[in-house]
Amino acid sequence: MDALDLARWQFGITTVYHYFFVPITIGLSLLVAIMQTQWMRTRNTQWLRLTKFFGKLFTINFALGLVTGIVQEFQFGMNWSDYSRFVGDIFGAPLAIEALLAFFLESTFLGLWIFGWGRIPEKLHAACIWLVHIGTVLSAYFILAANSFMQNPVGYEINPDTGRAELTDFLAVLTNKVQLVTFPHVLTAAYMTGGAFVLTFALWHLWRRQTPSVDKPMYRKAARLGAVAVLIAGAGAAVTGDLQGKIMTEVQPMKMAAAEALYEDVPEGEGAPFSIITVGTLDGDEEVWAITVPKLLSYLATGSFEGAVEGIDHIQDRYELTYAGSELTAADDYRPVIPVTYWSFRLMIGLGLAAMAVAVAVLWRLRGKGEPDDETRMSHPLWAWVATAVVFMPLLANSFGWIFTEMGRQPWLVMGLMTTRTGVSPGTTTGEVLTSLSVFTLLYGALAVVEVKLLLRYGRAGAEQVPEDASYDPSDRDDDDAYVFTY
Protein backbone atom coordinates (compact mmCIF):
# COMPACT_ATOMS: atom_id res chain seq x y z
CA MET A 1 0.00 0.00 0.00
CA ASP A 2 1.16 3.56 -0.68
CA ALA A 3 0.55 6.68 1.42
CA LEU A 4 -2.78 7.37 -0.33
CA ASP A 5 -4.20 3.92 0.45
CA LEU A 6 -3.02 4.07 4.07
CA ALA A 7 -4.39 7.60 4.53
CA ARG A 8 -7.76 6.41 3.22
CA TRP A 9 -7.72 3.40 5.55
CA GLN A 10 -6.82 5.63 8.49
CA PHE A 11 -9.59 8.13 7.80
CA GLY A 12 -12.10 5.33 7.21
CA ILE A 13 -11.18 3.46 10.41
CA THR A 14 -11.18 6.53 12.65
CA THR A 15 -14.42 7.84 11.14
CA VAL A 16 -16.35 4.60 11.48
CA TYR A 17 -15.02 4.15 15.01
CA HIS A 18 -16.04 7.70 16.00
CA TYR A 19 -19.43 7.17 14.41
CA PHE A 20 -20.20 4.34 16.84
CA PHE A 21 -20.59 7.04 19.52
CA VAL A 22 -22.41 9.75 17.55
CA PRO A 23 -25.86 8.19 16.98
CA ILE A 24 -25.96 6.91 20.57
CA THR A 25 -25.17 10.40 21.88
CA ILE A 26 -27.85 12.08 19.75
CA GLY A 27 -30.54 9.46 20.38
CA LEU A 28 -29.85 8.84 24.06
CA SER A 29 -29.78 12.55 24.93
CA LEU A 30 -33.35 12.82 23.60
CA LEU A 31 -34.57 9.77 25.52
CA VAL A 32 -32.95 10.89 28.78
CA ALA A 33 -34.62 14.29 28.34
CA ILE A 34 -37.97 12.54 27.79
CA MET A 35 -37.46 10.39 30.91
CA GLN A 36 -36.66 13.41 33.08
CA THR A 37 -39.66 15.30 31.68
CA GLN A 38 -41.87 12.29 32.40
CA TRP A 39 -40.64 12.27 36.01
CA MET A 40 -41.40 15.96 36.43
CA ARG A 41 -44.85 15.47 34.90
CA THR A 42 -45.87 12.34 36.84
CA ARG A 43 -43.56 12.45 39.92
CA ASN A 44 -43.17 8.68 39.39
CA THR A 45 -39.73 7.90 40.84
CA GLN A 46 -39.25 5.07 38.34
CA TRP A 47 -38.72 7.73 35.66
CA LEU A 48 -36.23 9.55 37.89
CA ARG A 49 -34.26 6.34 38.43
CA LEU A 50 -34.23 5.67 34.68
CA THR A 51 -33.12 9.26 34.01
CA LYS A 52 -30.13 8.85 36.31
CA PHE A 53 -29.32 5.35 35.04
CA PHE A 54 -29.33 6.15 31.34
CA GLY A 55 -27.89 9.63 32.02
CA LYS A 56 -24.83 7.96 33.49
CA LEU A 57 -24.44 5.69 30.43
CA PHE A 58 -24.98 8.70 28.16
CA THR A 59 -22.19 10.61 29.90
CA ILE A 60 -19.74 7.73 29.44
CA ASN A 61 -20.59 7.53 25.75
CA PHE A 62 -20.35 11.31 25.28
CA ALA A 63 -16.87 11.45 26.84
CA LEU A 64 -15.48 8.65 24.66
CA GLY A 65 -17.12 10.13 21.55
CA LEU A 66 -15.53 13.50 22.28
CA VAL A 67 -12.03 12.01 22.50
CA THR A 68 -12.35 10.06 19.25
CA GLY A 69 -13.87 13.03 17.38
CA ILE A 70 -10.90 15.33 17.99
CA VAL A 71 -8.64 13.07 15.92
CA GLN A 72 -10.83 13.52 12.84
CA GLU A 73 -9.96 17.16 12.27
CA PHE A 74 -6.24 16.63 12.83
CA GLN A 75 -6.17 14.34 9.82
CA PHE A 76 -7.13 17.11 7.41
CA GLY A 77 -3.80 18.74 8.13
CA MET A 78 -1.76 15.57 8.52
CA ASN A 79 -2.78 13.49 5.53
CA TRP A 80 -5.09 15.65 3.42
CA SER A 81 -3.39 19.03 3.15
CA ASP A 82 -4.02 19.45 -0.60
CA TYR A 83 -7.70 18.83 0.01
CA SER A 84 -7.69 21.32 2.91
CA ARG A 85 -5.93 23.92 0.77
CA PHE A 86 -8.37 23.47 -2.13
CA VAL A 87 -11.70 23.62 -0.24
CA GLY A 88 -10.64 24.80 3.23
CA ASP A 89 -12.55 28.09 2.88
CA ILE A 90 -15.79 26.21 2.38
CA PHE A 91 -15.30 23.04 4.39
CA GLY A 92 -13.84 24.90 7.36
CA ALA A 93 -16.75 27.30 7.85
CA PRO A 94 -19.44 24.81 9.01
CA LEU A 95 -16.86 22.85 11.03
CA ALA A 96 -15.79 26.05 12.83
CA ILE A 97 -19.39 26.93 13.67
CA GLU A 98 -19.95 23.39 14.88
CA ALA A 99 -17.02 23.68 17.28
CA LEU A 100 -17.76 27.25 18.44
CA LEU A 101 -21.54 26.99 18.76
CA ALA A 102 -22.96 23.48 18.81
CA PHE A 103 -20.18 21.68 20.66
CA PHE A 104 -19.89 24.39 23.34
CA LEU A 105 -23.68 24.38 23.72
CA GLU A 106 -23.86 20.65 24.39
CA SER A 107 -20.69 20.56 26.53
CA THR A 108 -21.67 23.53 28.69
CA PHE A 109 -25.18 22.38 29.40
CA LEU A 110 -24.10 18.79 29.93
CA GLY A 111 -21.81 20.06 32.68
CA LEU A 112 -24.67 22.05 34.20
CA TRP A 113 -26.90 18.99 34.03
CA ILE A 114 -24.37 16.64 35.63
CA PHE A 115 -23.43 18.95 38.47
CA GLY A 116 -26.73 20.82 38.71
CA TRP A 117 -28.79 18.16 40.52
CA GLY A 118 -30.00 19.80 43.73
CA ARG A 119 -28.21 23.04 42.90
CA ILE A 120 -30.54 24.60 40.30
CA PRO A 121 -34.36 24.52 40.04
CA GLU A 122 -35.88 21.37 38.56
CA LYS A 123 -37.33 22.99 35.44
CA LEU A 124 -34.09 24.77 34.68
CA HIS A 125 -32.21 21.55 35.28
CA ALA A 126 -34.47 19.62 32.88
CA ALA A 127 -34.01 22.40 30.31
CA CYS A 128 -30.26 21.71 30.45
CA ILE A 129 -30.60 18.18 29.11
CA TRP A 130 -32.94 19.39 26.37
CA LEU A 131 -30.32 21.99 25.40
CA VAL A 132 -27.70 19.24 25.38
CA HIS A 133 -29.86 17.38 22.89
CA ILE A 134 -30.36 20.51 20.76
CA GLY A 135 -26.59 20.98 20.79
CA THR A 136 -26.04 17.43 19.50
CA VAL A 137 -28.58 18.03 16.72
CA LEU A 138 -26.95 21.33 15.68
CA SER A 139 -23.56 19.66 15.76
CA ALA A 140 -24.84 16.98 13.38
CA TYR A 141 -26.32 19.63 11.08
CA PHE A 142 -23.09 21.59 10.58
CA ILE A 143 -20.94 18.48 10.13
CA LEU A 144 -23.38 17.09 7.58
CA ALA A 145 -23.39 20.45 5.77
CA ALA A 146 -19.64 20.08 5.30
CA ASN A 147 -20.03 16.49 4.13
CA SER A 148 -22.92 17.38 1.80
CA PHE A 149 -20.64 19.86 0.02
CA MET A 150 -18.38 16.91 -0.82
CA GLN A 151 -21.37 15.02 -2.25
CA ASN A 152 -22.82 18.00 -4.15
CA PRO A 153 -20.61 21.14 -4.17
CA VAL A 154 -22.61 24.40 -4.11
CA GLY A 155 -22.05 28.03 -3.03
CA TYR A 156 -18.49 28.36 -4.34
CA GLU A 157 -16.38 29.54 -7.25
CA ILE A 158 -12.89 28.55 -8.39
CA ASN A 159 -10.36 31.37 -8.08
CA PRO A 160 -8.18 31.07 -11.22
CA ASP A 161 -5.26 32.89 -9.53
CA THR A 162 -5.02 30.69 -6.44
CA GLY A 163 -6.54 27.52 -7.91
CA ARG A 164 -8.74 27.20 -4.82
CA ALA A 165 -12.47 26.84 -4.36
CA GLU A 166 -13.74 29.89 -2.46
CA LEU A 167 -17.00 30.36 -0.58
CA THR A 168 -19.52 32.68 -2.27
CA ASP A 169 -22.83 31.69 -0.65
CA PHE A 170 -22.74 30.16 2.83
CA LEU A 171 -26.54 29.89 2.94
CA ALA A 172 -26.40 27.70 -0.18
CA VAL A 173 -23.94 25.40 1.62
CA LEU A 174 -26.26 25.16 4.64
CA THR A 175 -29.33 24.50 2.45
CA ASN A 176 -27.66 22.15 -0.02
CA LYS A 177 -30.40 19.81 -1.31
CA VAL A 178 -28.26 16.82 -0.31
CA GLN A 179 -28.02 18.26 3.20
CA LEU A 180 -31.79 18.79 3.46
CA VAL A 181 -32.48 15.07 2.91
CA THR A 182 -29.38 13.68 4.61
CA PHE A 183 -29.86 15.51 7.91
CA PRO A 184 -33.34 14.12 8.75
CA HIS A 185 -32.22 10.65 7.64
CA VAL A 186 -29.16 10.70 9.90
CA LEU A 187 -31.20 12.17 12.76
CA THR A 188 -33.93 9.52 12.62
CA ALA A 189 -31.30 6.79 12.34
CA ALA A 190 -29.65 8.21 15.48
CA TYR A 191 -32.97 8.12 17.34
CA MET A 192 -33.32 4.47 16.30
CA THR A 193 -29.91 3.77 17.80
CA GLY A 194 -30.74 5.60 21.03
CA GLY A 195 -33.98 3.62 21.32
CA ALA A 196 -32.14 0.35 20.72
CA PHE A 197 -29.57 1.29 23.38
CA VAL A 198 -32.33 1.80 25.97
CA LEU A 199 -34.05 -1.38 24.77
CA THR A 200 -30.91 -3.45 25.20
CA PHE A 201 -30.29 -2.56 28.84
CA ALA A 202 -34.00 -2.71 29.74
CA LEU A 203 -34.48 -6.15 28.16
CA TRP A 204 -31.36 -7.45 29.84
CA HIS A 205 -32.60 -6.38 33.27
CA LEU A 206 -36.06 -7.80 32.54
CA TRP A 207 -34.52 -11.14 31.61
CA ARG A 208 -31.93 -11.21 34.40
CA ARG A 209 -32.84 -13.18 37.53
CA GLN A 210 -30.67 -10.96 39.75
CA THR A 211 -32.84 -7.95 38.95
CA PRO A 212 -35.19 -7.34 41.93
CA SER A 213 -38.81 -8.17 41.05
CA VAL A 214 -39.91 -4.79 42.32
CA ASP A 215 -37.72 -3.13 39.64
CA LYS A 216 -39.12 -5.14 36.69
CA PRO A 217 -42.04 -2.73 36.01
CA MET A 218 -39.52 0.11 35.77
CA TYR A 219 -37.44 -1.71 33.14
CA ARG A 220 -40.67 -2.65 31.37
CA LYS A 221 -41.36 1.08 30.98
CA ALA A 222 -37.88 1.61 29.56
CA ALA A 223 -38.19 -1.35 27.18
CA ARG A 224 -41.48 -0.06 25.80
CA LEU A 225 -40.06 3.47 25.43
CA GLY A 226 -37.02 2.13 23.59
CA ALA A 227 -39.13 -0.08 21.31
CA VAL A 228 -41.51 2.79 20.45
CA ALA A 229 -38.52 5.03 19.68
CA VAL A 230 -37.04 2.38 17.36
CA LEU A 231 -40.34 1.96 15.51
CA ILE A 232 -41.19 5.66 15.06
CA ALA A 233 -37.63 6.63 14.17
CA GLY A 234 -37.32 3.60 11.89
CA ALA A 235 -40.39 4.70 9.94
CA GLY A 236 -38.88 8.19 9.67
CA ALA A 237 -35.56 6.74 8.49
CA ALA A 238 -37.34 4.74 5.79
CA VAL A 239 -39.21 7.80 4.45
CA THR A 240 -36.18 10.11 4.55
CA GLY A 241 -33.97 7.38 3.08
CA ASP A 242 -36.34 7.10 0.13
CA LEU A 243 -36.12 10.88 -0.43
CA GLN A 244 -32.36 10.73 -0.11
CA GLY A 245 -32.16 8.02 -2.77
CA LYS A 246 -33.91 10.22 -5.32
CA ILE A 247 -31.62 13.21 -4.65
CA MET A 248 -28.61 10.88 -4.74
CA THR A 249 -29.66 9.62 -8.18
CA GLU A 250 -29.91 13.22 -9.37
CA VAL A 251 -26.47 14.38 -8.17
CA GLN A 252 -24.53 11.09 -8.02
CA PRO A 253 -26.10 8.61 -10.48
CA MET A 254 -23.02 6.38 -10.30
CA LYS A 255 -23.63 5.76 -6.59
CA MET A 256 -27.22 4.60 -7.14
CA ALA A 257 -26.19 2.41 -10.10
CA ALA A 258 -23.40 0.90 -7.96
CA ALA A 259 -25.86 0.25 -5.12
CA GLU A 260 -27.64 -2.20 -7.46
CA ALA A 261 -24.59 -3.17 -9.54
CA LEU A 262 -26.62 -2.05 -12.55
CA TYR A 263 -24.21 -1.95 -15.50
CA GLU A 264 -26.60 -1.34 -18.39
CA ASP A 265 -29.15 1.45 -18.80
CA VAL A 266 -32.80 0.64 -18.10
CA PRO A 267 -34.92 2.81 -20.44
CA GLU A 268 -38.11 4.69 -19.54
CA GLY A 269 -41.14 2.41 -19.29
CA GLU A 270 -39.23 -0.82 -18.60
CA GLY A 271 -38.69 -0.42 -14.83
CA ALA A 272 -35.38 -1.44 -13.17
CA PRO A 273 -35.60 -4.27 -10.58
CA PHE A 274 -34.04 -4.12 -7.10
CA SER A 275 -32.27 -7.23 -5.84
CA ILE A 276 -32.84 -8.22 -2.21
CA ILE A 277 -29.78 -10.45 -2.33
CA THR A 278 -27.36 -11.35 -5.10
CA VAL A 279 -24.62 -13.91 -5.46
CA GLY A 280 -22.12 -12.76 -8.06
CA THR A 281 -18.54 -13.08 -9.17
CA LEU A 282 -15.89 -11.72 -6.80
CA ASP A 283 -15.26 -8.64 -8.94
CA GLY A 284 -18.98 -7.82 -8.89
CA ASP A 285 -19.19 -7.70 -12.68
CA GLU A 286 -21.50 -10.67 -13.19
CA GLU A 287 -24.63 -11.93 -11.43
CA VAL A 288 -24.84 -15.67 -10.66
CA TRP A 289 -28.10 -15.78 -8.66
CA ALA A 290 -30.42 -13.16 -7.18
CA ILE A 291 -33.80 -12.50 -5.57
CA THR A 292 -35.28 -9.36 -7.11
CA VAL A 293 -38.30 -7.10 -6.71
CA PRO A 294 -39.50 -5.91 -10.15
CA LYS A 295 -39.31 -2.16 -10.86
CA LEU A 296 -38.38 -1.24 -7.28
CA LEU A 297 -35.03 0.35 -8.20
CA SER A 298 -36.80 2.67 -10.65
CA TYR A 299 -39.10 3.80 -7.85
CA LEU A 300 -36.23 4.29 -5.38
CA ALA A 301 -34.25 6.27 -7.95
CA THR A 302 -36.95 8.32 -9.67
CA GLY A 303 -40.23 8.01 -7.76
CA SER A 304 -41.80 6.18 -10.72
CA PHE A 305 -41.99 2.41 -11.21
CA GLU A 306 -41.39 2.99 -14.92
CA GLY A 307 -38.53 5.54 -14.51
CA ALA A 308 -35.28 5.28 -16.49
CA VAL A 309 -32.11 4.40 -14.55
CA GLU A 310 -28.66 5.01 -15.99
CA GLY A 311 -26.22 2.10 -15.82
CA ILE A 312 -22.60 2.05 -14.62
CA ASP A 313 -21.06 1.60 -18.08
CA HIS A 314 -22.88 4.57 -19.58
CA ILE A 315 -22.00 6.82 -16.61
CA GLN A 316 -18.36 5.73 -16.84
CA ASP A 317 -18.23 6.76 -20.52
CA ARG A 318 -19.93 10.08 -19.77
CA TYR A 319 -17.55 10.91 -16.89
CA GLU A 320 -14.50 10.10 -19.05
CA LEU A 321 -15.67 12.62 -21.64
CA THR A 322 -16.51 15.25 -19.01
CA TYR A 323 -13.65 15.03 -16.52
CA ALA A 324 -10.60 13.54 -18.26
CA GLY A 325 -9.16 16.94 -19.25
CA SER A 326 -8.12 18.20 -15.81
CA GLU A 327 -5.45 16.97 -13.40
CA LEU A 328 -7.88 17.39 -10.48
CA THR A 329 -10.71 15.40 -12.08
CA ALA A 330 -9.02 12.84 -14.34
CA ALA A 331 -9.24 9.22 -13.18
CA ASP A 332 -8.60 5.80 -14.68
CA ASP A 333 -11.93 4.51 -13.39
CA TYR A 334 -14.94 6.48 -12.14
CA ARG A 335 -16.61 3.40 -10.65
CA PRO A 336 -16.55 2.81 -6.88
CA VAL A 337 -15.83 -0.66 -5.49
CA ILE A 338 -19.10 -2.29 -6.56
CA PRO A 339 -19.32 -5.18 -3.99
CA VAL A 340 -18.73 -2.72 -1.10
CA THR A 341 -21.44 -0.32 -2.24
CA TYR A 342 -23.84 -3.14 -3.08
CA TRP A 343 -23.58 -4.95 0.26
CA SER A 344 -23.23 -1.91 2.53
CA PHE A 345 -26.48 -0.56 1.03
CA ARG A 346 -28.32 -3.80 1.81
CA LEU A 347 -26.80 -4.25 5.25
CA MET A 348 -27.87 -0.70 6.12
CA ILE A 349 -31.48 -1.41 5.14
CA GLY A 350 -31.59 -5.00 6.44
CA LEU A 351 -30.21 -4.24 9.90
CA GLY A 352 -32.59 -1.28 10.28
CA LEU A 353 -35.56 -3.49 9.41
CA ALA A 354 -34.32 -6.19 11.82
CA ALA A 355 -34.25 -3.65 14.68
CA MET A 356 -37.82 -2.63 13.87
CA ALA A 357 -38.90 -6.29 13.87
CA VAL A 358 -37.40 -6.75 17.35
CA ALA A 359 -39.22 -3.62 18.54
CA VAL A 360 -42.54 -5.02 17.31
CA ALA A 361 -41.85 -8.35 19.06
CA VAL A 362 -41.00 -6.56 22.35
CA LEU A 363 -44.15 -4.44 22.26
CA TRP A 364 -46.21 -7.58 21.57
CA ARG A 365 -44.60 -9.51 24.45
CA LEU A 366 -45.06 -6.56 26.82
CA ARG A 367 -48.57 -5.68 25.63
CA GLY A 368 -51.22 -4.58 28.13
CA LYS A 369 -50.43 -3.88 31.76
CA GLY A 370 -48.76 -7.26 32.10
CA GLU A 371 -46.79 -6.53 35.26
CA PRO A 372 -47.44 -9.80 37.14
CA ASP A 373 -46.15 -12.09 34.38
CA ASP A 374 -43.44 -9.94 32.82
CA GLU A 375 -40.75 -12.23 34.21
CA THR A 376 -42.36 -15.27 32.57
CA ARG A 377 -42.81 -13.49 29.28
CA MET A 378 -39.14 -12.50 29.07
CA SER A 379 -37.57 -15.54 30.75
CA HIS A 380 -36.67 -17.47 27.58
CA PRO A 381 -32.87 -17.44 26.95
CA LEU A 382 -33.57 -16.12 23.45
CA TRP A 383 -34.38 -12.73 24.97
CA ALA A 384 -30.87 -12.51 26.42
CA TRP A 385 -29.49 -12.86 22.90
CA VAL A 386 -32.02 -10.37 21.57
CA ALA A 387 -31.05 -7.89 24.29
CA THR A 388 -27.39 -8.26 23.37
CA ALA A 389 -27.93 -8.02 19.62
CA VAL A 390 -30.55 -5.32 19.22
CA VAL A 391 -28.27 -2.37 19.99
CA PHE A 392 -25.86 -3.46 17.26
CA MET A 393 -28.55 -3.55 14.56
CA PRO A 394 -29.16 0.20 14.08
CA LEU A 395 -25.61 0.97 15.22
CA LEU A 396 -24.10 -1.11 12.43
CA ALA A 397 -26.81 0.05 10.02
CA ASN A 398 -25.60 3.62 10.67
CA SER A 399 -22.00 2.60 10.02
CA PHE A 400 -22.83 0.74 6.81
CA GLY A 401 -24.80 3.80 5.71
CA TRP A 402 -21.69 5.96 6.13
CA ILE A 403 -19.50 3.40 4.36
CA PHE A 404 -21.96 3.35 1.46
CA THR A 405 -22.11 7.15 1.34
CA GLU A 406 -18.36 7.66 1.34
CA MET A 407 -17.24 4.62 -0.66
CA GLY A 408 -20.01 5.18 -3.21
CA ARG A 409 -18.62 8.68 -3.95
CA GLN A 410 -15.20 7.32 -5.01
CA PRO A 411 -13.03 8.15 -6.87
CA TRP A 412 -14.23 11.65 -5.93
CA LEU A 413 -13.11 13.50 -2.84
CA VAL A 414 -15.37 16.39 -3.88
CA MET A 415 -17.86 15.25 -6.50
CA GLY A 416 -16.90 16.60 -9.92
CA LEU A 417 -14.14 18.88 -8.57
CA MET A 418 -11.37 16.80 -7.04
CA THR A 419 -10.45 13.13 -7.00
CA THR A 420 -9.27 11.48 -3.80
CA ARG A 421 -5.75 10.84 -5.09
CA THR A 422 -5.20 14.59 -5.61
CA GLY A 423 -6.19 15.53 -2.05
CA VAL A 424 -3.54 13.64 -0.12
CA SER A 425 -0.65 15.56 1.47
CA PRO A 426 2.24 15.59 -1.07
CA GLY A 427 4.97 15.34 1.58
CA THR A 428 3.42 12.52 3.57
CA THR A 429 5.32 9.25 3.43
CA THR A 430 4.05 5.71 3.75
CA GLY A 431 5.99 5.26 6.97
CA GLU A 432 4.47 8.36 8.56
CA VAL A 433 0.91 7.32 7.77
CA LEU A 434 1.60 3.76 8.87
CA THR A 435 2.95 5.06 12.20
CA SER A 436 -0.04 7.30 12.91
CA LEU A 437 -2.41 4.54 11.78
CA SER A 438 -0.79 2.10 14.21
CA VAL A 439 -0.92 4.63 17.06
CA PHE A 440 -4.56 5.44 16.44
CA THR A 441 -5.48 1.75 16.19
CA LEU A 442 -3.82 0.97 19.52
CA LEU A 443 -5.32 4.06 21.17
CA TYR A 444 -8.80 3.33 19.88
CA GLY A 445 -8.48 -0.30 20.96
CA ALA A 446 -7.67 0.86 24.51
CA LEU A 447 -10.60 3.30 24.45
CA ALA A 448 -12.92 0.50 23.31
CA VAL A 449 -11.90 -1.59 26.32
CA VAL A 450 -12.56 1.39 28.64
CA GLU A 451 -15.95 2.08 27.04
CA VAL A 452 -17.15 -1.52 27.23
CA LYS A 453 -15.94 -2.00 30.80
CA LEU A 454 -17.64 1.18 32.00
CA LEU A 455 -20.90 0.43 30.22
CA LEU A 456 -20.97 -3.14 31.55
CA ARG A 457 -20.08 -2.01 35.07
CA TYR A 458 -22.74 0.68 35.36
CA GLY A 459 -25.23 -1.18 33.18
CA ARG A 460 -25.00 -4.28 35.38
CA ALA A 461 -25.43 -2.19 38.53
CA GLY A 462 -28.82 -0.99 37.27
CA ALA A 463 -30.84 2.01 38.35
CA GLU A 464 -30.06 3.33 41.83
CA GLN A 465 -32.76 3.80 44.43
CA VAL A 466 -34.11 7.28 45.15
CA PRO A 467 -36.44 8.52 47.92
CA GLU A 468 -40.15 8.18 47.11
CA ASP A 469 -40.66 11.90 47.77
CA ALA A 470 -37.63 12.91 45.71
CA SER A 471 -37.53 16.60 44.99
CA TYR A 472 -34.42 18.39 43.85
CA ASP A 473 -35.25 22.08 44.00
CA PRO A 474 -32.51 23.95 45.90
CA SER A 475 -35.20 25.58 48.08
CA ASP A 476 -36.14 22.12 49.47
CA ARG A 477 -32.60 21.25 50.52
CA ASP A 478 -30.99 21.77 53.87
CA ASP A 479 -27.38 22.80 53.87
CA ASP A 480 -26.45 19.51 55.52
CA ASP A 481 -28.18 17.33 52.88
CA ALA A 482 -25.91 15.26 50.70
CA TYR A 483 -26.06 16.03 47.03
CA VAL A 484 -28.44 13.66 45.35
CA PHE A 485 -26.56 12.70 42.22
CA THR A 486 -22.86 12.33 41.83
CA TYR A 487 -20.51 10.59 39.45
In a domain, 202, yes or no: yes
* Residue 430, C-beta contacts closer than 8 angstroms, at least 6 positions apart: 1, 2, 3, 6
Query: 3-state class of 51 per DSSP?
Result: helix
Q: How far apart are CA 99 and CA 88, in angstroms?
A: 15
Q: Do 24 and 75 fall within a single domain?
A: yes
In a domain, 339, yes or no: yes
Q: Do 314 and 299 fall within a single domain?
A: no
Confidence grade of residue 285 (pLDDT, cut at 50, 70, 90): low
Q: Do 133 and 281 fall within a single domain?
A: no
| pLDDT value of residue 486 | 47
| pLDDT value of residue 46 | 93
Of the listed ranges 74-88, 182-196, 458-472, the one predicted with least confidence: 458-472
Question: How many domains, in total, are found in the chain?
Answer: 2
Q: Do 325 and 304 fall within a single domain?
A: no
- Asked if pLDDT for residue 480 goes beyond 60, the answer is no
Identity of the residue numbered 485:
F
Q: Could you read off the pLDDT of 190-240 as tens digits, one per residue? A: 999 999 999 999 999 988 888 888 888 899 999 999 999 999 999 999 999
Structural domain range at position 296? 266-309
Q: Do 274 and 258 fall within a single domain?
A: no
In a domain, 486, yes or no: no
Read off the pLDDT of each residue in 346-361 and give the average, rounded to a whole number: 95
Confidence grade of residue 428 (pLDDT, cut at 50, 70, 90): confident
Burial classification of residue 151, based on how many CB atoms lie within 10 Å of its CB (0-12 exposed, 13-18 middle, 19 or more buried): buried
| pLDDT value of residue 487 | 46
- Asked if pLDDT for residue 478 goes beyond 80, the answer is no
Q: Do 223 and 270 fall within a single domain?
A: no
Chain-centre distance for alpha carbon 192: 10
Task: Report the percentage of the chain scoring pLDDT > 70.
Answer: 93
Read off the pLDDT of each residue in 260-282 and give the average, rounded to a whole number: 83
In a domain, 485, yes or no: no
| Helical residues (DSSP H) of 366-429, grouped into ranges | 374-377, 381-390, 392-407
Q: Do 286 and 261 fall within a single domain?
A: no
Confidence grade of residue 474 (pLDDT, cut at 50, 70, 90): low
Q: Do 216 and 287 fall within a single domain?
A: no
Q: Do 223 and 117 fall within a single domain?
A: yes
| pLDDT value of residue 208 | 86
Least Cα distance to 164 among 428, 407, 396, 414 occurs for 414
In a domain, 69, yes or no: yes
In a domain, 477, yes or no: no
Q: Do 292 and 151 fall within a single domain?
A: no
* C-beta neighbour count of 157 within 10 angstroms: 11
Q: Could you read off the pLDDT of 51-78 as tens digits, one per residue? A: 999 999 999 998 888 878 777 777 888 8
Q: Do 146 and 281 fall within a single domain?
A: no
Domain boundary among 309, 335, 361: 309
| pLDDT value of residue 95 | 86
Q: Do 271 and 286 fall within a single domain?
A: yes
3-state helix, strand, coil in the chain (%, to 5): 70, 5, 25
